[in-house]
């Protein structure tokens, strides 16, 4: 005899019943895969009351039986008789199922609410085009994304255990301590997590200002703006005035400095896009921050270069690139490769006056310091970065390591072009001749270089 016991009245409308019936198999799979796996497993693995036959049912069979009862095409009595189970067993299964389904439905509603909230925040603050840009790289509707609205701080959030991606709606320009903020985000994200944000460059800001249409006033205004927002923060006495007036917001940044700061804090650039005069970026955490306490600010800076016997030397040079550009070297090469001159192609890191300084070797005058220190000699192969060194032929690498780098490169003395092939061939000829005649080769090359510069108008590549 099947036991009779009262069952709770379920107020399912026809549309819900039809959905259950049509999507029956989908519901089976969803309960297996849902975020409520634990609750579902408890329902499946629980020691059910009933006959031995009932304990032999698979998890999907149990769910199928309950759904058949909820749809109502067959009475619960008929289902129990058909499956040879007691009504108590069916009743327990149904209650467990409804609890799991309720919890699952709540998660679905929460996900929809989060999706709507994330979309609303991003679209309201940045625009729908930005939202569509971000969603190419992450599921914005997921509860595993943290959207930090404008004016909010990362320190206001405590639980980061389930966070995979962070979206900040404030521009980097409005953070008083940009690097510390990025370092904190790096610590919160797991390896491979995404950071999405934005910054505004000096040129983008200038283009938006109405004063940019007034020729004379424009130059005066932007000159003062640059001095106040770029020079003042670097001078001890004026730094306090700057932060008192601006509160650290609306800072002047270049594209190279913004991206360089991000990379220095342990992120790799996935993509960036200019939308309505603002640069939006997507970056991935790949390592710990560099914690660079001496970034490349100021007109004079030191470059990390390979010297004799592979020793790392610091070569002085006048700045021709924006601050933090050294962190973008690999990225620029990865995206644009080398130009014919052997330097990175389409290099956005260069400042406007860089071409003039480089053409007449003005940027290299500080290398006289290295000459006095003994890191460089007057004539020799140019000191190169570790990345460039790895890309040159093995035989030239071995020859280079035997000699000190020099201030005047061989291609100038030999009056060759500045292409990569020509420069490498000139270096090889010089290095081989230096091995054969170590005492007079440099003297010969110095006179030839001076002659080519003065009388043949030889200039830097």
Residue 68 lies in a domain: yes
* Cα–Cα distance measured from residue 344 to residue 328, given in angstroms and rounded to the nearest whole number: 11
- In terms of domains, do 324 and 349 share one? yes
- Asked if 152 and 167 touch (Cβ cutoff 8 Å), the reply is no
Q: Examine the fold and report which residue of 257, 285, 313 is the final residue of a domain before the chain moves on.
A: 285
* Cα–Cα distance measured from residue 161 to residue 156, given in angstroms and rounded to the nearest whole number: 15
Residue 9 lies in a domain: no
Q: What angle do CA 224, 301, 315 make, to 5 degrees?
A: 160
Residue 7 lies in a domain: no
- In terms of domains, do 306 and 409 share one? yes
Residue 292 lies in a domain: no
- In terms of domains, do 107 and 158 share one? no
Residues spanned by the domain of 74: 14-113
- In terms of domains, do 273 and 323 share one? no
CATH assignment of the domain containing 156: 3.40.50
pLDDT digit string (tens) for the chain, length 461 residues: 334 434 333 344 444 444 444 444 454 444 444 444 444 444 443 333 344 455 566 667 777 787 777 665 677 778 888 888 888 888 888 888 777 766 555 555 555 555 566 777 788 888 899 999 998 998 877 767 788 877 776 655 555 666 789 999 999 998 888 999 999 999 889 899 999 999 999 888 877 777 777 777 877 877 888 888 877 777 777 878 888 888 878 888 999 999 999 999 999 999 999 999 999 999 999 999 988 766 777 788 888 999 999 999 999 999 999 989 989 988 998 999 888 777 888 999 999 889 889 888 899 999 999 999 999 999 999 999 998 899 899 999 999 999 999 999 999 999 998 888 899 999 999 999 999 999 899 999 999 999 999 988 887 76
Q: Each residue of 277-305: b (16+ CB within 10 Å) or e? A: ebbbbbbbbeeebeeeeebbeeeebeeeb
* Cα–Cα distance measured from residue 267 to residue 286, given in angstroms and rounded to the nearest whole number: 6
- In terms of domains, do 364 and 448 share one? yes
- In terms of domains, do 362 and 378 share one? yes
* Cα–Cα distance measured from residue 341 to residue 350, given in angstroms and rounded to the nearest whole number: 15
- In terms of domains, do 127 and 234 share one? yes
Residue 135 lies in a domain: yes
- In terms of domains, do 148 and 126 share one? yes
- In terms of domains, do 160 and 272 share one? yes
- Asked if 298 and 230 touch (Cβ cutoff 8 Å), the reply is no
- In terms of domains, do 189 and 265 share one? yes
Residue 200 lies in a domain: yes
Q: Examine the fold and report which residue of 113, 141, 166 is the final residue of a domain before the chain moves on.
A: 113
* Cα–Cα distance measured from residue 147 to residue 170, given in angstroms and rounded to the nearest whole number: 11
Which residues 6+ apart lie within 8 Å of 461 measured at CB? Answer: 341, 342, 343, 411, 417, 418, 419, 423
- In terms of domains, do 386 and 405 share one? yes
Q: Examine the fold and report which residue of 223, 250, 285 is the final residue of a domain before the chain moves on.
A: 285
Residue 460 lies in a domain: no
- In terms of domains, do 83 and 178 share one? no
């Amino acid at each position: 005899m099947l036991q009779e016991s009262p069952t709770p009245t379920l107020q399912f409308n026809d549309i819900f019943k039809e959905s259950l019936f049509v999507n029956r198999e989908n519901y089976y799979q969803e309960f297996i895969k849902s975020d409520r796996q634990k609750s579902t497993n408890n329902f499946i693995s629980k020691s059910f009351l009933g006959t031995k036959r009932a304990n032999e049912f698979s998890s999907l069979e149990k769910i199928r039986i309950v759904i058949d009862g909820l749809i109502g095409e067959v009475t619960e009595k008929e289902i129990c008789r058909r499956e040879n189970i007691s009504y108590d067993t069916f009743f327990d299964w149904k209650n467990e199922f409804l609890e799991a389904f309720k919890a699952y439905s709540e998660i679905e509603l929460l996900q929809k609410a989060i999706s709507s909230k994330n979309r609303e925040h991003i679209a309201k603050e940045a625009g729908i085009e930005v939202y569509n840009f971000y969603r190419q790289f992450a599921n914005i509707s997921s509860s595993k994304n943290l959207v930090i609205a404008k004016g909010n701080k990362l320190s206001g959030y405590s639980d980061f255990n389930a966070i995979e991606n962070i979206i900040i709606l404030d521009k980097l320009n409005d953070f008083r301590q940009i690097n510390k903020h990025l370092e904190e985000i790096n610590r919160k994200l797991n390896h491979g997590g995404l950071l999405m944000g934005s910054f505004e460059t000096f040129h983008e800001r200038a283009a938006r200002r109405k004063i940019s249409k007034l020729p004379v006033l424009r130059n005066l205004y932007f000159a003062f703006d640059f001095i106040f927002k770029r020079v003042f923060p670097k001078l001890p006495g004026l730094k306090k005035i700057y932060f008192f007036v601006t509160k650290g917001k609306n800072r002047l940044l270049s594209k190279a400095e913004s991206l360089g700061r991000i990379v220095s804090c342990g992120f790799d650039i996935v993509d960036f896009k200019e939308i309505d005069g603002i640069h939006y970026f997507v970056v991935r955490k790949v390592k710990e921050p560099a914690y660079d306490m001496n970034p490349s600010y100021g007109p004079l800076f030191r470059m990390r270069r390979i010297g004799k016997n592979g020793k790392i030397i610091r070569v002085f040079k006048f700045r021709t690139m924006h601050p933090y550009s050294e962190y973008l070297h690999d990225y620029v090469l990865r995206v644009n490769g080398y130009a014919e001159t052997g330097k990175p192609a389409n290099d956005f890191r260069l400042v406007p006056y860089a071409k003039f300084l480089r053409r007449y070797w003005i940027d290299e005058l500080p290398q006289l310091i290295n000459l006095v220190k003994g890191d460089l000699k007057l004539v020799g192969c140019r000191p190169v970065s570790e990345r460039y060194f790895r890309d040159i032929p093995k035989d030239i690498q071995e020859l280079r390591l035997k000699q000190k780098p020099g201030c005047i490169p061989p291609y100038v003395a030999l009056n060759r072009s500045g292409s990569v092939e020509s420069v490498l061939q000139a270096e090889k000829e010089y290095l081989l001749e230096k091995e054969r005649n170590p005492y007079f080769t440099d003297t010969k090359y110095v006179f030839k270089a001076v002659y080519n510069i003065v009388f043949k108008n030889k200039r830097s590549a």
